[in-house]
Structure formats: structure tokens, C-alpha cells
Amino acid sequence: MAQLRDAKEAAYRREPLPNRGFVSRKKKKKEQSEYFFDYSLLFVVLFLMGFGLVMIYSTSSYEANQQFGSASYYLRKQAIAIVLGLAAMILVANIPYHFWERFAVLGYLVSVVMILLVMTPLGVESHGARRWLEIPGIGFNIQPAEVAKLCMILFLSSLVCKMGKKVRSMKGFFLMMMIPLPLALMIWQITDNLSSAIIVMGIAVLMVFVASPDYKKFIIMALLGGGAVALVVFLIVNGSFQGEFRSARIIAWLDPEADAQDKGFQTLQALYAIGSGGVWGKGLGQSMQKLGFLPEAQNDMIFSIICEELGLFGAIAIILMFIMLLWRMMIIANNAPDLFGALLVVGVIGHIAIQVILNIAVVTNTIPNTGISLPFISYGGSSVMFLMIEIGLVLSVAKRIQLREL
């Protein structure tokens, strides 16, 4: 992150940031017209979405045929969302990213309003949770939590640049940590979406971590957070909070076989799918768990079907693709023209990385079960559309990196 440190210093002094790491064979007179475009990043994103469509059809065809009379029901809806997301990505990528800085505060307020609207008749309930808003007239639902993640990245990036060196102070640090807290609490309490609330706070922590040179605060915060989580688990195991929904999930996480017909059912079925896949898998489309045994196979648990059909080899291949995606974005962040652009990319990195880690951890029973999708692969129109907008922001930052002659 050495280059990001230089980015911060340049932004604090309001000086232009020198670019590093890119070589052009053109003459200096053409230097201003030569810019960087990360085709590798674009390829990885397109591959993940294409692979996601294949897996969505594989995992959902049986259920879709049973419920809707069409095996391609989920596939068609996801394909429409991807087309819209691609159009939005292309549009955002071709707009200078500083254009969006003026909408940072407005985006934060819009996120708050959209979450509150979930409690109105516009709110849509599905699978026992009220997390979506119905867009009148077009039959399309949007998840306010996805809007909040994007707006939080934009708002914090703008705020860090405006605060300058004040972000290094203790007052600035606590302000940066308090800004996302109301939004995260609203997502948790109003939409009953703890995983998205965790992601919003995780994005904020990572962005402030990059912007602040004092790592001691984060070490202390991590220790306190880990201690609090351990205390809660200890109290639940010893009989406190009995009967609460998430308490039951934690107990099922510790011993899923003890509640195999209720809270531990989905976790056990996912583990069966992973175990039965072996190294090479049963073959694409040959999963047994997707035939009504594993709930939400095309959503939160799609990684377990990947393991069952494509085996350990396929699972590792997908993880490597995500690592490549994050690595390419790291390169863009390190060479961004200014601090605002670097923080935008860091926020997107945090969003995707946290969501991938949490999804795989849930599927493998490393953490308690909580509904969270696998980016670009799981079924979910709102998720893939706003992820594509974030990728558009990253590509917009990348396009402003000038190629320099050493």
C-alpha cells in the first residue's frame, strides 16, 4: 500500500499524484492521450458472470420447473439483470469518476430513505424477510442494502478527501467509524439483513484503515470486537438468549446435527454436497442436493453445488478467479490518479472480498449461517446490477491512469 500512502499525501497537499508502474513506448508528445484500460479485470468479471449463469441454470432448473413450469425461469431473470448491469457498467466507466463525488451526500440520504420505505406498502416480503422495494410499473424489485453499499463507498471516499489530515486524529477516526453505523443498524433492524450490515461496516473499516496511518486503533478495535463475539457465543452456549432466531443459528453452527431438521438442515445439506463432490466432482448438472434437498441452492448455497458438480478443482478455480479480480483492482488502486479514485477502488475491493469470504465461510460452516450471496455467481438481480456499477467505477478510475514513459 506504499503508493496509496503517496496518494493520501498528494491529496492532503492538493498536488497531482505521479503515476507509477506503467510503461509506454509512445513519444512524450502523445503521452497525454495514452491511458490504461484493464482488459484482464473485464475478462474476469465477464467470466464470473457467464459461469454464474451456467451454475444458476444447473442449480435452479429442477425447482424452477416444479414451481413455475419453466426450467429457465431463474436463468432468464438473471440474464436480464446482467444485461442491465452491463449497460450501467459501460455508462459509469465512460463518465469521469469525480462526477459522482458531488452526489456523495445525496446518495447517503437516498439509501436511508430507501431502507425506510421497506416498512411501507412498497416493501416486498420474500422467504420470511422484508428486504426489497417494488418498483411500480415494471415489476422489478430492488434491495436497498445493495444501494447502501455503493453509496457508502462513494460517501466515505469523498469524506476522507475533504477531511484531509484530520482523518488521522482520534476525533476524525471516530467520526469515520460513526458515519456508516446508522446505515448498518437500519439495514440490520429494518430489513433484518445482518450480513449486509456487516459488509457495510467492513467496507468502512477497510477504507478508514487505508486512509489512516495509525494501525494501533484497528488492532485494539479487532481485539475488542473478537472478545465481544466470543462473549456472545459463550453466553448463548450457556443458556442466555434462548429462543432468539440468531441464537438458534449459533447453536446450530456449533452442532448442526443436533438440529438437523430445522436450523442445521441447510448447513448439513451443503456439507453433504461438498463432501460428495470429491476432487473432480460428479459432473456439471449431476448434483443430487439441488433436487429439492438444499434450500436456496441457486442463491446463498450455490458454492456448495459448485463443489458437488465440479469438485475441489472447480472450487479452487473459482477462488483463484476472485483472487485475480481483487489483484487487478489492487493494481488500479495503487496507481490511481488521486486519493478519491484510490479509495473508490479500495471500497469495491472490500465489498467483493468480504462478501466472497463470508459466503464461502457460511457454506463450509466456518461461521454461523447467514444469508449472503456469492458475487457475480449467485442468483440476485439487485446484487449483480450494483456490483457491475461498482466495476464501472473501478474501470473509470483505471481509464484515468496515464501511461508514462520511464
Does 279 reside within a domain?
yes
Residue 265, pLDDT above cutoff 80: yes
> Which position has the higher pLDDT, 307 or 18?
307
Does 265 reside within a domain?
yes
Q: How many domains does the chain fold into?
A: 1
Does 57 reside within a domain?
yes
> Which position has the higher pLDDT, 32 or 251?
251
Residue 29, pLDDT above cutoff 60: no
Does 404 reside within a domain?
no
Pairing verdict, β 129-135 and 140-142: antiparallel
Phi, psi of 142 (to 5 degrees): -125, 145
Work out the burial of residue 13: count CB atoms within 10 Å of its CB; fewer than 13 is exposed, 13-18 middle, 19 or more buried: exposed
pTM over 0.85: yes
Distance, in Å, from the CA atom of 284 to the CA atom of 339, rounded to the nearest integer, reads 44
Residue 28, pLDDT above cutoff 50: no
Residue 339, pLDDT above cutoff 50: yes
Q: What pLDDT is stored for residue 280 in this prediction? A: 92
Does 245 reside within a domain?
yes
Residue 359, pLDDT above cutoff 80: yes
Angstrom distances, CA of residue 81 to CA of 99, 171, 214, 218, 332: 25, 42, 41, 38, 26
> Maximum Cα–Cα distance for the chain, whole Å?
73
Does 315 reside within a domain?
yes
- Which residue bears the cell 465440479? 310
**Helix (H) / strand (E) containing 127:** none
pLDDT in tens, 270-280: 899 999 988 99
Q: What pLDDT is stored for residue 243 in this prediction? A: 53
Least confident among 27-36, 354-363, 374-383: 27-36
Least confident among 4-13, 303-312, 396-405: 4-13
**Residue 195: which residues within 8 A CB-CB, separation 6 or more?**
358, 370, 371, 372
Residue 58, pLDDT above cutoff 50: yes
CB 101 within 8 A of CB 160: no
Q: What pLDDT is stored for residue 95 in this prediction? A: 93
Least confident among 247-261, 296-310, 385-399: 247-261
- Side-chain-side CA neighbours of residue 163 (13 Å): 21
| The amino acid at 283 | G
| The amino acid at 318 | I
Which residues pair with residue 135 across a beta bridge? 140
Q: What pLDDT is stored for residue 385 in this prediction? A: 94
| The amino acid at 336 | A
Residue 110, pLDDT above cutoff 60: yes
Structural domain range at position 242: 2-399
CB 338 within 8 A of CB 17: yes
User: 270, 312, 261: which is closest to 288 by C-alpha?
Assistant: 270
Residue 18, pLDDT above cutoff 80: no
Residue 14, pLDDT above cutoff 50: no
> Which position has the higher pLDDT, 246 or 114?
114
Confidence of residue 139 (pLDDT cuts 50, 70, 90): low
Confidence of residue 34 (pLDDT cuts 50, 70, 90): low
At 70, list the grid cell. Answer: 419453466
pLDDT in tens, 212-233: 777 787 888 888 888 888 887 7
Q: Which range is most confident: 59-73, 157-171, 350-364?
A: 350-364
Does 406 reside within a domain?
no
Residue range 346-362: mean pLDDT, rounded: 95
Question: In whole numbers, what is the pLDDT of the chain averaged over residues?
Answer: 84
Residue 25, pLDDT above cutoff 50: no
Distance, in Å, from the CA atom of 284 to the CA atom of 273, rounded to the nearest integer, reads 13
Distance, in Å, from the CA atom of 203 to the CA atom of 180, rounded to the nearest integer, reads 9
Tell how far CA 348 is from the center of its chain.
7
At 184, list the grid cell. Answer: 448498518
